[in-house]
């Protein structure tokens, strides 16, 4: 019995001498047993028994038999248990949990911290907003990092991951930038478009409630451009075409959209109705061409009651780059001087039609070759058409389909007749 105890003690000492490589005989070396290593089952011999690898290309927790851990510094399996993932040096520590070691928050790092110390980091990208908070700080303040939600509390609105940044464990939540997505609110001022939402964190579940949930604002501001206006609109009214420049090299996308304001910020969406007599501001932009070499020109713009620009009732809005003003008030604000064309049109209606179709023929010119009302001299570039269908506001004084328009004269006559009857 004493001999057995001595043998067991010797074996234990051999296996637990710090983080030394295991040198026992319970498992063979993988090189000696024709082994394979798999993510699911670790390293096994050809007879399906476990073995000890000399290198580990897997998740370290899968390399060695369950009672051992992989020591990358020594490239071996060691008796000393190690954490299955890297801990954040600034606020985590590796601790035992049963037979395993895991990373846990070192709460002593956040003694005396308050809610004012919780400062979410917001990163604004063109199509994604990322919000990061310190996991250990959130937990030390008594909140549950897993409880995060937005204005829309649906689980479909939470996309998150964790990582280590500046030696801290951060939980990062990602938001789409689209208007209306999971409660997003999009606003604008004279220079920027803002995407806003609210992040929420609930308290850690407990029989006693001693604090309120956290709510913090998430806001990203984006410079106003046609592209950002289109990006943040729910149903943007837009049209695109592919242009070739005057030198015939490459191809570029031109986009046209319509706005309600002269700042070109309030975009007209596909289901918006425009009041007759109000202004429509058209913008056409090429974003991927060299502005020092090329300029965009709207050669001709036409309005028609149908999707046929050759309709006999069609009206010319722009001819040879300028506004003829032959029945429809049109102002060319910018054309042929940059990669941005802007035109103002006073909205009107073709009698009996609920919408108006706008067609613009555009081309890329050499800089200063298409300004003003010049005849287009750059014939090497191709001309393409972009078009929009503007819905018109339905009201008592507007004709839609078979419903006749009511003139002011008819309305006045009817009113006089009514008054004369009342006076008899």
The per-residue DSSP string of 57-121 comes to -S-GGGTS-TT-EEETTTTEEESS---SSPPPTTTEEEEEETTEEEEEE-GGGGTT--GGG---E
CB 102 within 8 A of CB 83: yes
Q: Is residue 35 part of a domain?
A: yes
368 — phi, psi (to 5°)? 70, 10
Question: Domain count of the chain?
Answer: 3
Q: Is residue 71 part of a domain?
A: yes
Among 173, 201, 223, the domain-final residue is: 223
Q: How far is CA 101 from CA 40, 80, 83, 88, 289, in A?
A: 20, 10, 5, 14, 56
Residues 239 and 191 in one domain: no
- pLDDT truncated to tens, each residue of the chain (424 aa)? 333 343 333 333 333 334 688 888 888 888 888 888 887 778 889 888 888 888 888 777 678 887 787 887 788 888 776 676 678 888 998 887 776 778 889 988 899 999 999 999 999 988 899 999 999 999 999 999 999 999 999 989 989 998 888 889 999 999 998 888 999 998 877 778 899 999 999 999 888 887 899 999 999 998 877 777 777 776 788 899 988 776 666 788 999 999 998 888 788 988 899 999 999 999 999 988 888 888 899 999 999 999 999 999 999 999 988 999 888 999 999 998 899 999 999 999 999 999 999 999 999 888 878 876 764 444 455 889 999 999 988 654 433 333 333 333 333 333 333 333 333 3
Among 188, 223, 258, the domain-final residue is: 223
Q: How far is CA 283 from CA 225, 254, 280, 326, 350, in A?
A: 10, 10, 10, 21, 23
Q: What is the pLDDT of residue 405?
A: 35
Residues 214 and 123 in one domain: yes
Q: What is the pLDDT of residue 408?
A: 32
Which residues lie across from 5 on neighbouring strands? none
Residues 239 and 210 in one domain: no
197 — phi, psi (to 5°)? -150, 180
Q: Is residue 96 part of a domain?
A: no
d(CA 233, CA 235): 6
Q: Is residue 400 part of a domain?
A: no
Residues 77 and 120 in one domain: no
Domain that residue 78 falls in: 2-82
Residues 189 and 243 in one domain: no
Q: What is the pLDDT of residue 398?
A: 39
Residues 154 and 215 in one domain: yes
Q: Within 13 Å and on the Cβ side, how many CA atoms surround 393?
A: 13
Please report, for the domain that includes residue 152, its CATH number.
2.60.40.3210
Residues 245 and 387 in one domain: yes
Q: What is the pLDDT of residue 102?
A: 82
Among 59, 82, 105, the domain-final residue is: 82
CB pairs under 8 A, 24+ apart, for 3-11?
none
CB 84 within 8 A of CB 100: yes
Q: Which of 110, 98, 124, 129 is nearest to 169 (CA)?
A: 110
d(CA 162, CA 171): 4
| DSSP three-state, residue 141 | coil
Residues 133 and 206 in one domain: yes
Residues 314 and 378 in one domain: yes
Residues 245 and 189 in one domain: no
Residues 247 and 189 in one domain: no
Q: What is the pLDDT of residue 283?
A: 93
Q: Is residue 200 part of a domain?
A: yes
314: how many CB neighbours lie within 10 A of its CB? 17
Read off the tokens for 110: 């956040």
| DSSP three-state, residue 363 | strand
Q: Is residue 423 part of a domain?
A: no
| DSSP three-state, residue 8 | helix
d(CA 263, CA 280): 12
Q: Is residue 141 part of a domain?
A: yes
Q: Is residue 275 part of a domain?
A: yes
Q: What is the pLDDT of residue 234?
A: 66
CB 322 within 8 A of CB 332: yes
Residues 258 and 382 in one domain: yes
Read off the tokens for 226: 């046609």
Q: Does the global pTM surpass 0.85?
A: no
Q: What is the pLDDT of residue 103?
A: 86
CB 68 within 8 A of CB 21: no
Radius of gyration over alpha carbons of the chain, in Å?
35
d(CA 85, CA 118): 25
d(CA 304, CA 99): 78
């Amino acid at each position: 019995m004493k001999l057995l105890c001595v043998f067991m003690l010797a074996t234990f000492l051999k296996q637990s001498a710090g983080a030394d490589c295991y040198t026992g005989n319970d498992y063979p070396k993988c090189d000696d047993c024709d082994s394979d290593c798999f993510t699911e089952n670790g390293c096994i011999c050809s007879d399906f028994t476990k073995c000890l690898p000399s290198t580990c290309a897997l998740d370290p927790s899968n390399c060695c038999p369950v009672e051992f851990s992989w020591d990358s510094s020594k490239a071996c399996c060691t008796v000393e248990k190690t954490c299955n993932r890297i801990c954040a040096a600034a606020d985590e520590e590796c601790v035992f949990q049963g037979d395993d070691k895991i990373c846990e928050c070192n709460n002593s790092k956040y003694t005396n911290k308050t809610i004012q110390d919780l400062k979410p980091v917001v990163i604004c990208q063109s199509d994604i907003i990322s919000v990061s908070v310190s996991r250990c700080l959130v937990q030390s303040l008594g909140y549950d990092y897993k409880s995060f939600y937005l204005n829309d509390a649906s689980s479909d609105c939470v996309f998150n991951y964790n990582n280590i940044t500046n030696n801290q464990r951060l939980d990062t939540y990602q938001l789409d930038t689209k208007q209306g997505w999971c409660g997003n609110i999009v606003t604008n001022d004279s220079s920027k478009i803002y995407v806003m939402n609210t992040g929420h964190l609930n308290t850690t579940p407990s029989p006693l409630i001693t604090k309120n949930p956290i709510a913090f604002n998430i806001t990203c501001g984006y410079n106003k451009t046609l592209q950002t206006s289109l990006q943040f609109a729910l149903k943007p009214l837009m049209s695109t075409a592919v242009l070739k420049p005057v030198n015939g090299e490459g191809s570029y996308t031109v986009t046209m959209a319509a706005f309600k304001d002269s700042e070109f910020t309030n975009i007209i969406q596909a289901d918006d109705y425009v009041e007759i007599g109000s202004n429509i501001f058209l913008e056409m932009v090429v974003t991927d061409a060299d502005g020092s070499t090329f300029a965009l020109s709207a050669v001709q713009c036409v309005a028609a009651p149908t999707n046929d620009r050759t309709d006999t009732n069609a009206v010319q809005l722009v001819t040879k780059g300028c506004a003829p003003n032959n029945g429809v008030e049109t102002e060319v604000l910018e054309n042929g001087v940059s990669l941005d064309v802007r035109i103002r049109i006073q909205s009107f209606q073709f009698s009996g039609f609920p919408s108006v179709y706008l067609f613009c023929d555009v081309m890329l010119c050499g800089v200063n070759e298409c300004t003003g009302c010049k005849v287009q001299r750059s014939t090497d570039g191709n001309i393409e058409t972009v078009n929009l269908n503007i819905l018109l506001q339905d009201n008592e004084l507007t004709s839609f389909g078979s419903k006749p328009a009511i003139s002011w004269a008819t309305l006045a006559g009817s009113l006089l007749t009514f008054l004369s009857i009342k006076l008899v």
